[in-house]
Amino acid sequence: MPDGSAAAPADAPIEVQKAIWAANTIQDMPYVYGGGHAQVEDPRGYDCSGTVSYALIHAGLLKSPLPSGPFMRWGARGRGQWITVFANGGHAYAVIAGLRLDTSSYGSRIASKRKYPKAQERGPRWRPTKRPARGFKKRHPIGF
Protein backbone atom coordinates (compact mmCIF):
# COMPACT_ATOMS: atom_id res chain seq x y z
CA MET A 1 0.00 0.00 0.00
CA PRO A 2 1.24 3.57 -0.53
CA ASP A 3 1.84 4.05 3.22
CA GLY A 4 4.16 1.02 3.27
CA SER A 5 1.76 -1.31 5.05
CA ALA A 6 0.44 -4.57 3.60
CA ALA A 7 -3.14 -5.73 3.34
CA ALA A 8 -3.79 -9.25 4.55
CA PRO A 9 -5.68 -11.41 2.04
CA ALA A 10 -9.20 -12.20 3.26
CA ASP A 11 -8.77 -15.86 2.31
CA ALA A 12 -5.48 -16.26 4.19
CA PRO A 13 -5.38 -18.31 7.39
CA ILE A 14 -5.73 -16.16 10.52
CA GLU A 15 -2.08 -16.82 11.44
CA VAL A 16 -0.97 -15.35 8.13
CA GLN A 17 -3.21 -12.33 8.63
CA LYS A 18 -1.81 -11.85 12.16
CA ALA A 19 1.77 -12.01 10.84
CA ILE A 20 0.99 -9.29 8.28
CA TRP A 21 -0.84 -7.08 10.78
CA ALA A 22 2.02 -7.46 13.28
CA ALA A 23 4.67 -6.56 10.69
CA ASN A 24 2.63 -3.48 9.76
CA THR A 25 3.05 -2.19 13.33
CA ILE A 26 6.85 -2.04 13.09
CA GLN A 27 7.09 -0.46 9.64
CA ASP A 28 8.46 2.84 10.94
CA MET A 29 11.03 1.29 13.27
CA PRO A 30 14.72 1.69 12.47
CA TYR A 31 17.19 -1.10 11.78
CA VAL A 32 19.05 -1.93 15.00
CA TYR A 33 21.54 -4.80 15.12
CA GLY A 34 20.21 -7.27 17.72
CA GLY A 35 16.86 -5.47 17.85
CA GLY A 36 13.92 -7.66 18.75
CA HIS A 37 16.00 -10.40 20.38
CA ALA A 38 16.28 -9.43 24.05
CA GLN A 39 12.64 -8.35 24.04
CA VAL A 40 9.98 -8.92 21.39
CA GLU A 41 8.54 -5.41 21.79
CA ASP A 42 11.79 -3.49 21.27
CA PRO A 43 11.42 0.30 21.33
CA ARG A 44 14.90 0.72 19.78
CA GLY A 45 14.13 -1.10 16.51
CA TYR A 46 14.66 -4.47 14.84
CA ASP A 47 17.28 -6.33 12.89
CA CYS A 48 16.49 -8.78 10.09
CA SER A 49 15.80 -11.87 12.15
CA GLY A 50 14.16 -9.79 14.88
CA THR A 51 11.70 -8.54 12.24
CA VAL A 52 10.90 -12.04 11.00
CA SER A 53 10.62 -13.29 14.59
CA TYR A 54 8.25 -10.45 15.51
CA ALA A 55 5.80 -11.35 12.74
CA LEU A 56 5.93 -15.07 13.49
CA ILE A 57 5.59 -14.64 17.26
CA HIS A 58 2.52 -12.44 16.87
CA ALA A 59 1.06 -15.04 14.50
CA GLY A 60 1.56 -17.76 17.12
CA LEU A 61 4.05 -19.60 14.89
CA LEU A 62 7.22 -19.01 16.95
CA LYS A 63 7.72 -18.92 20.72
CA SER A 64 10.81 -16.72 21.06
CA PRO A 65 13.07 -14.71 18.72
CA LEU A 66 15.67 -16.51 16.62
CA PRO A 67 18.87 -15.18 15.04
CA SER A 68 19.41 -15.73 11.32
CA GLY A 69 21.47 -18.92 11.64
CA PRO A 70 18.91 -20.95 13.61
CA PHE A 71 16.21 -19.97 11.10
CA MET A 72 18.16 -22.16 8.65
CA ARG A 73 16.93 -25.21 10.63
CA TRP A 74 13.57 -23.90 11.86
CA GLY A 75 10.22 -25.27 10.66
CA ALA A 76 10.00 -27.48 7.58
CA ARG A 77 12.25 -27.45 4.51
CA GLY A 78 11.33 -25.62 1.36
CA ARG A 79 8.85 -22.94 0.47
CA GLY A 80 5.57 -22.73 2.28
CA GLN A 81 2.16 -22.07 0.77
CA TRP A 82 1.71 -18.82 2.73
CA ILE A 83 4.97 -18.11 4.59
CA THR A 84 8.57 -18.78 3.62
CA VAL A 85 11.56 -17.70 5.69
CA PHE A 86 14.81 -17.26 3.76
CA ALA A 87 17.87 -17.50 6.00
CA ASN A 88 21.62 -17.79 5.88
CA GLY A 89 24.27 -17.21 8.54
CA GLY A 90 24.05 -13.44 8.23
CA HIS A 91 20.57 -12.48 7.05
CA ALA A 92 16.92 -13.52 7.21
CA TYR A 93 13.78 -12.27 5.53
CA ALA A 94 10.31 -13.65 4.93
CA VAL A 95 7.80 -13.79 2.13
CA ILE A 96 4.30 -13.72 3.60
CA ALA A 97 1.31 -14.06 1.27
CA GLY A 98 3.60 -13.14 -1.63
CA LEU A 99 5.07 -10.00 -0.04
CA ARG A 100 8.68 -9.66 1.07
CA LEU A 101 9.27 -8.55 4.67
CA ASP A 102 12.91 -7.49 4.86
CA THR A 103 15.18 -4.97 6.57
CA SER A 104 17.27 -4.69 3.41
CA SER A 105 16.10 -2.58 0.49
CA TYR A 106 17.94 -4.96 -1.88
CA GLY A 107 16.26 -4.77 -5.28
CA SER A 108 13.77 -2.10 -4.19
CA ARG A 109 15.48 0.67 -6.15
CA ILE A 110 13.78 -0.77 -9.23
CA ALA A 111 10.40 0.14 -7.75
CA SER A 112 9.06 3.62 -8.21
CA LYS A 113 10.36 5.85 -5.44
CA ARG A 114 7.20 7.91 -5.69
CA LYS A 115 4.86 4.92 -5.48
CA TYR A 116 6.73 3.02 -2.70
CA PRO A 117 8.94 5.55 -0.88
CA LYS A 118 9.25 3.43 2.29
CA ALA A 119 10.71 0.55 0.29
CA GLN A 120 13.91 2.57 -0.09
CA GLU A 121 14.38 2.92 3.69
CA ARG A 122 16.46 0.61 5.84
CA GLY A 123 14.60 -1.24 8.57
CA PRO A 124 11.58 -3.54 8.83
CA ARG A 125 9.57 -2.85 5.69
CA TRP A 126 7.44 -4.58 3.10
CA ARG A 127 9.41 -4.59 -0.17
CA PRO A 128 7.64 -4.41 -3.56
CA THR A 129 10.21 -6.59 -5.32
CA LYS A 130 11.62 -10.09 -4.94
CA ARG A 131 15.28 -10.76 -4.29
CA PRO A 132 17.42 -13.68 -5.40
CA ALA A 133 17.18 -16.59 -2.96
CA ARG A 134 20.56 -18.05 -3.88
CA GLY A 135 22.58 -18.77 -0.74
CA PHE A 136 19.50 -18.81 1.51
CA LYS A 137 17.84 -21.84 3.09
CA LYS A 138 14.08 -21.84 2.53
CA ARG A 139 11.98 -22.85 5.55
CA HIS A 140 8.33 -22.57 6.46
CA PRO A 141 6.07 -23.10 9.44
CA ILE A 142 4.49 -26.54 9.20
CA GLY A 143 1.05 -26.24 7.62
CA PHE A 144 1.71 -22.80 6.15
pLDDT tens for 69-125 read 999 999 999 999 999 999 999 999 999 999 999 998 766 555 555 555 555 667 899
**pLDDT score of 31:** 95
Residue range 47-65: mean pLDDT, rounded: 98
Angle subtended at Cα 123 by Cα 122 and Cα 125, rounded to the nearest 5 degrees: 100
Q: Is the separation of the CB atoms in 97 and 5 below 8 Å?
A: no
Q: Where are the domains of the chain?
A: 14-140
For the segment 60-69, the average pLDDT, to the nearest whole number, is 97
Q: Is the full-model pTM beyond 0.85?
A: yes
Closest CA to 66 of 44, 83, 84, 85: 85
pLDDT, mean over the chain? 91
Q: Which pLDDT belongs to residue 108?
A: 57
Q: Return phi, psi of residue 120, to 5°.
A: -85, -15
C-alpha 67: how far from chain center = 13
In which element (H, E) is residue 24 found?
helix 14-25
Residue 130: predicted pLDDT: 87
Pick the CATH number of 14-140 from 3.30.465.10, 3.30.43.10, 3.40.50.620, 3.90.1720.10: 3.90.1720.10
What order do you get walking across the sheet with 125-127 strand by strand?
A: 76-77, 137-140, 83-87, 92-96, 99-102, 125-127
